[in-house]
Every structure is written in structure tokens, then in C-alpha cells.
Amino acid sequence: MTLPNDSGVRELPYGVEGPATLRTGEVVVVRVLGLQDRRALETFLEGLSEESRVTRFFSAVRPPSVVERMLAPAGFHQHLGLVIVEPDRPQGPILSHAEYARDPFDAPSAEVAFLTADVFQARGCATILLKRLALAAVHFGMTTFHAEVLAANDRMRAVLRNSGFPFETHVTEEGLSVSLRIDRPPPTERETRSSKPESS
């Protein structure tokens, strides 16, 4: 497997990295994004549609520091980036990326963000990465994920809503802030939808 970007200061729990099956039946591999992935990450970001750039970065122009931030060396207890790649092309192309960054002022919480290559969207990549990130985050003592989402971003909202984790949604200046309780056993989908309607 890939070398972690902090050379393994903290080990990930079993099940975070490894194979996964998309909704289409394709088998893919989830692995840690590491410093060796700089070029593949650049290519992935350059290939995005304007719509995907805007919904991820809230701007049509990708912030210049984003690659550095995604690759920033930190222990997995602080920051973890996961990517989905094809099993026979582990170096890339990157099909999907997701990351958490622990909130320094609220240690049990982390900010999460997701990005799937346009042609690979709607195959279940973000759903898989959310569950793998949560597995790691709970292992490191986190309880809550926060995601900042544009109000019109139905796809991201669907991923969070359908995750099975209890969630709350708050309206913010930029759109919506969705909080997921990742440490609670996921309720059934029916319980989630009836007990926690979105407040948007």
C-alpha cells in the first residue's frame, strides 16, 4: 500500500484502505493520498468541470494552495486524504478524493470535503470514502464531521443524508453546514429521514 504522508506516525485501522465495489460493480481501491501523488492530484484537479470546481472550492478558480493543503504532512489523527484508484493502476488516475482535517479548536470534530472526477460521479465513490474516513476518524477519537455545502449541491447533500449517520443541517452565509455524528451507530434510513428532516 501507499506510504502515508507522515510515514506512519499513526497507523490506520483495518478496513480504511483496500478494495471497494462501486454501484456499477466495478472493483476499485481506496488508499491514502501521499506526497508521491502530487502529479496525479494536479491532473485530477485540472480535469474537473467548472461546476465541480465551484461546488468544491466555492470558486471557479482553484485556490493556488489547494494541492499543498491536500498533501500537507500531518499525522492521520489530524488530517487524512483518501483516494480511489483502479486496481491495476494504483498510481492513478485518481477517480475520487476525500479528506478530513481535524478542527484545532474542537478536537472531536473534523471538516470533511469530497471530490469525484466528473465521469465517475454517481457510482458511489463519495459514499465509500465517507465511510472509510469515518472509520479512521472514530479510531482517533473524533465524533463529528462537518461539511460546508452549497445549498444547491443536491449530490453532496444526498451523500451525507443517505450515509446513515445522524445529521443536522444549519444555514450559513455560504450555504449549508452539515454535521454528522460519526460515533453513533447508524440508524436505519427510515429513522434518519423521519427524525432529522433537513432544515434548509
The residues binding ligand COA (CB under 6 A) are 52, 55-56, 96, 113-116, 121-127, 147, 149, 153, 155-156, 158-159, 162
8 Å CB contact between 33 and 76: no
Give the containing element (helix H, strand E) for 128: helix 125-139
The smaller minimum CB distance to ligand COA, of residues 9 and 119, is found at 119
The smaller minimum CB distance to ligand COA, of residues 80 and 115, is found at 115
What is the closest distance, in whole angstroms, from the C-beta atom of residue 96 to ligand COA in the complex?
5
8 Å CB contact between 114 and 44: no
The smaller minimum CB distance to ligand COA, of residues 98 and 136, is found at 98
The smaller minimum CB distance to ligand COA, of residues 114 and 165, is found at 114
Of 88, 95, 89, 70, which is closest to residue 80 (Cα–Cα)?
70
What is the closest distance, in whole angstroms, from the C-beta atom of residue 182 to ligand COA in the complex?
15
Q: Which distant-in-sequence residues (6+ apart) come within 8 Å of 53 by Cβ?
A: 59, 60, 61, 62
What is the closest distance, in whole angstroms, from the C-beta atom of residue 159 to ligand COA in the complex?
5
Q: At what angle do helices 154-161 and 125-139 cross, to 10 degrees?
A: 50
Place of cell 479528506: 99
The smaller minimum CB distance to ligand COA, of residues 6 and 145, is found at 145
What is the closest distance, in whole angstroms, from the C-beta atom of residue 164 to ligand COA in the complex?
11
Of 102, 97, 109, which is closest to residue 179 (Cα–Cα)?
109
Of 57, 75, 74, which is closest to residue 65 (Cα–Cα)?
57
What is the closest distance, in whole angstroms, from the C-beta atom of residue 98 to ligand COA in the complex?
8
Integer-rounded Cα radius of gyration of the chain: 16
The smaller minimum CB distance to ligand COA, of residues 101 and 107, is found at 101
User: Looking at 53-95, which runs of residues are DSSP E strands?
Assistant: 79-85
What is the closest distance, in whole angstroms, from the C-beta atom of residue 10 to ligand COA in the complex?
24
